[in-house]
Amino acid sequence: MSETLAPAAAAPASLSRRRVLIVIGALTLGMFLAALDQTVVATALPTIVGDLHGASHLTWVVTAYLLSSTVSTPLWGKLGDQFGRKFFFQAAIVIFLVGSALSGLSHSMIELIVFRALQGLGGGGLIVGAQTIVGDVVSPRERGRYMGIFMGMFGVTTVIGPLIGGLFVDSVGWRWIFYINIPIGAVALAVTAVALPGTLSRVHRVIDYLGSALLALSATALVLFTSLGGTSYPWTSPFIVGLAVSGVVLAVAFLLAERGAAEPVIPLHLFANPVFSAASAIGFVIGFAMFGALTFLPLFLQEVKGVSAIQSGLRLFPMMGGLFLASIGSGFLVSRWGRYKVFPVVGTALTTVGLYLMSTIGVSTGAWTTAAYMAVFGVGLGLVISVLLVAVQNAVPYEELGTATSGATFFRMIGGSFGTAVFGAIYANLIVSNIVKALHQGKAPGFSISGDNPSIIHHLPPLQQAEVIGGIAHTIQTVFLIGVPVAFGAFLLSWTLPELELRKSIRETEPGEGLGLPEPRTSLGEVQRILERAASRENRSELYETLAARADIHLEPRAVWMLYRLADRPGCTLEQVGARLKVEPQRLEGGIDALVAAGMLQRNGGADGHTLVLTGHGHEAIERLTAARRDSMTELLAGWDPEAHPEVLDMVRDLAKSLLADDDKLLAEARAAPARAGR
């Protein structure tokens, strides 16, 4: 494992509780905006196309954001590590806000697509920055909790994004989907400028500029090829052929560059791992299906069913809610059963069936039937997304944990970019011919066959309106039907996913984990995050009781906790300890008496009262308890060789001590506990 632990990972910046909460609030705002903009435009697309025209390019409003945010993520992470996280997080906010403002001011689809790409560039930096800065400003005990909040927020924004988009479209107009980011982002920028320390940790990283550039260019060329071919340009045109050739050549150049890169964006030897290869392929297809469907379902609901933008957002709840709930449920069941392969198999099967069912939805299909079909599709997606991440983390050695985790998520997001582009190309290629076939009595005056302004449909004579709507419905049905064999390919791939015994450290996932962008964590950082996440869910009283038993120390949990409270402030009086912990001294006397009786603490007289001083036996007890804590943590890292990875041993040793010395849960219990009788 070549990474070195960032100093702040073990020793966060010394900030007041109030300041930490302010910083976390600002980070949450930034991350919320970046996560929300993945899905918020879905329900606004029909209205946007009506205002700006260019229906053949509608999917690029989604694709541009996904593509730029995904390919820029590794670069943001490494730049922040090496040159300072505060500066680059604020730079990401500024880029995101500029992209948002320009997107709202767009007067053509091309302008909107370009500015959405700029917005996505900033969005990638927001997500990476928020997750890495947390480790710099909060204690190890709290990191797992805050990371859980971030991951849960990703899941929630996935669900509510389309609804929020519809709400803005129907109330103040689609441009406010982007304008609303400005005041919220400005608050995040101002707060981080004032409250975030300027001396956050730095880690020396070798930045793979060449690999990042080649990857971005190759992906862009290939997505443009699939999107523009046969629509804006003939398949045989020099431009389209040039895009295809350029994409392949750049991809080959990327592979060659990665072979010689000191810290490659995607280490090629990972593909020799059958779990990583299968999970990446499945994830690509799942992303393909998810974002492709998310783009066209609102179009179907608004143009075929005639519902408003906000109603289309509400009607997407069965799909988005099913995705989120299934993601949480599968994570819980994997933790309980210790098995994961069944979930991708069942999930990809449901995804395939769901796509087929949605391909049968027509003008006369009832709302409840449509909701049921979307729920099947959403549950299928949810059963796969988080579990694939678990499978990858479980299959790779610890020195590859960081790159494998971000790599698996990367392929799902790239799949989303290709899915929206390909689905959009299919739609654009079929829409004109299907509408022409549906119009038995010829084109109505003032109606554009290209469908660039969908709102005109509802002003047509009833007969022609019904025929045009039928043509649009048939086109979207075909789009979903073509997605069926693609999803079935993922189902076949799921059977090739090897099932390995789950490590203890990998059994639990956070709600929404895997739904976000790939975060370029180091492997050491990923190991630490797993341990912190496990620690945040422990029952603290039971933990201290278990540690005392392992260390062969006969103390109750409150006394063990008190031992650590006194270790970092020797020679204090009981009143001083209580003032520092903001606990009435009487509530601490039980633990003090137990330590004195055990010979680990002595009271020395003084002018200010009795000072509390740890004895040699007390210091020895702390060492034994810390060793027991370290051993319990290393048991989670089954398969880890401490001699091969001494930096992990150092991290676990520091983390074990800090997790015991920083214990808000038992502190809260001490504040709430009744005072001893007779005191």
**What is the pLDDT, as a whole number, of residue 354?**
93
Evaluate whether 334 touches 191 at the Cβ level (below 8 Å): no
Regions of the chain short of the pLDDT cut 70: 1-16, 54-56, 77, 80-82, 135-136, 138-152, 154-155, 198-207, 231, 398-399, 401-402, 440-460, 503-541, 568-570, 581, 605-609, 633-679
- Please state the φ and ψ torsions of residue 314, each to the nearest 5 degrees: -65, -40
DSSP β-ladder status, 572-573 and 611-614: antiparallel
**What is the pLDDT, as a whole number, of residue 2?**
41
* CA 6 vs CA 144, 205, 368, 430, 521: distances in Å: 17, 11, 52, 53, 12
Amino acid, single-letter form, for residue 633 = M
pLDDT digits (tens, 9 = 90+) for 128-156: 777 777 766 766 556 556 666 666 676 67
Amino acid, single-letter form, for residue 291 = F
Q: From CA 126, how far away is CA 148, in angstroms rounded? A: 17
SS3 300: helix
The β-bridge partners of 612 are 572, 603
**What is the pLDDT, as a whole number, of residue 289?**
82
**What is the pLDDT, as a whole number, of residue 639?**
57
Q: Which domains does the chain have, with CATH numbers?
A: 7-208+262-533 (1.20.1250.20), 538-672 (1.10.10.10)
**What is the pLDDT, as a whole number, of residue 82?**
67
- Please state the φ and ψ torsions of residue 443, each to the nearest 5 degrees: -75, 140
> How many Cα atoms are found within 13 Å in the side-chain-facing hemisphere of 442?
3
Evaluate whether 125 touches 76 at the Cβ level (below 8 Å): yes
**What is the pLDDT, as a whole number, of residue 674?**
43
| DSSP letter (8 states) at residue 444 | P
Q: From CA 379, how far away is CA 294, in angstroms rounded? A: 14
Q: Which residue has the tokens 């048991």?
A: 635
**What is the pLDDT, as a whole number, of residue 350?**
94
**Dihedral angle at the C-alpha atoms of 505, 511, 514, 519, nearest 10 degrees?**
-80
**What is the pLDDT, as a whole number, of residue 634?**
66
Nearest in space to 292 (alpha carbons), one of 450, 478, 50? 478
The β-bridge partners of 229 are 233
In the chain, count of helices (H) and strands (E)?
Answer: 26, 3
Burial of 440 (0-12, 13-18, 19+ CB in 10 A): exposed
Q: What are 628's two structure tokens?
A: 């027991």
Write the DSSP assignment of 469-506 as a string of letters.
HHHHHHHHHHHHHHHHHHHHHHHHHHTTS---PPPGGG
Contacts of 482 (CB under 8 A, 6+ apart): 426
Evaluate whether 314 touches 301 at the Cβ level (below 8 Å): no
State the DSSP H helix or E strand holding residue 251, giving kind and residue range, or none if neither. Answer: helix 238-260
Q: What are 20's two structure tokens?
A: 């930490």
Write the DSSP assignment of 417-442 as a string of letters.
HHHHHHHHHHHHHHHHHHHHHH-TT-
**What is the pLDDT, as a whole number, of residue 351?**
92
**What is the pLDDT, as a whole number, of residue 328?**
80
H helices of 138-196, in order, are: 140-171, 176-179, 181-195
Q: From CA 630, how far away is CA 164, in angstroms rounded? A: 46
Q: From CA 78, how far away is CA 82, in angstroms rounded? A: 6
**What is the pLDDT, as a whole number, of residue 7?**
37
**What is the pLDDT, as a whole number, of residue 515?**
53
What is the reported pTM?
A: 0.71
Contacts of 45 (CB under 8 A, 6+ apart): 58, 61, 62, 295, 298, 299
**Dihedral angle at the C-alpha atoms of 431, 437, 441, 445, nearest 10 degrees?**
20
**CB atoms inside a 10 Å sphere around CB 321:** 18
